[in-house]
Structure 1
């Protein structure tokens, strides 16, 4: 199957499959002289594994390590996926029940306790934290967690709103020059905000910008404010880091 046929069958983008090939996660069975990527049934089985891991929040780097390991067993992996998805379904069922009860509560049909209003929510696991620890080390992540923990509840609540406001400020600039005065002023706000939550050197700031493009989850979230914004931020962050290096 050609890449477009696989994309249509599975429901992923051609861009995603190209990215998987570029990073060595899912290499086509062969590439023709004309440059067409061809995928076999074995390729589709590997892709299924990848997508199961992605659904469960595994980073691409970790997925590559797992499926390329000599000890990788597809059956064991499927059994793991099954257990984890059952746990996820259980949590979702609980949250659906909480929504249904809340609707009844609003209608005056039942009365919920404050504890019942939050059943099903689980903030004990940050899916990005392990990746951050692998990239920047435990000390940096622990410092960031401590820094955020010392913020007031009002300050913590304001962070997502401030992030969105900066995204919206950057979005109209994304088709211009990343080194313009306006672009650099907005990206400086981003740098200041990040350092309210953690401790980012200029090199780490530049590296984070690259991650916005390398990790499709970041790209999708950022590009929701405007297609191409992730790449623009990467370039603007690199310019900012270079200009402010002593």
Structure 2
């Protein structure tokens, strides 16, 4: 048995608060000593721990009491639910920390400055310097252009769109980082990225039948790394959350479901949201 003073020292909860819990019937002492002092056994301490978990979730004392007094209260299920919510809260905080780190490194996630003509020219020069003439011609033809000048006009129209500019500046810290990321991926890298993508989505498909939170988080981290490699990003959070929107598009989802199994797109979308606590 522990005295109210000892319980206070162990948990960091004040004696006054423990007395208040007793007064409102939230946590009654296990017994009173001959001198009338409150005493708590291990079962009472376990209940106090549950109360502390609920308080961490921002639940009022009145609601905590209602939950724990419910005759159908399942302690194990309640702890699992608390764990899931706290993980979500932790993941959301991790996401905010990542955004702060980007700002400290010079990023501005609220910068919607449009790309100017000089930015477009620099983008094309970076591409040309990393490709053979034949490769560059093939690239611009894929975009419906017959010359570098036509390709430049296509890019100018695309990047004049404020949403395009704001999306890019959410993904990258600044214009310079994006321009440096314009270096084309080499053929051998493309094949490796394809294999890695197949492996990740196959892993998600397998998890659908036997969910595992830790394994799910690992796969989301692998997907984040995949986007970092593919797009040359430092932080893939914004891209992954935008990817969720793509996965919710019926036609886009159909492509993934037909290749990896029905429901994969929905499962991956939900896994990303859980990971970032959204």
* Same fold, judged at TM 0.5 (above): no
Which of 1 and 2 has greater Rg?
Answer: 2
TM-score, normalised by the number of residues in structure 2: 0.39
Instruction: Identify the structure with bigger relative contact order (alpha carbons < 8 Å, sequence gap 6+).
Output: 2
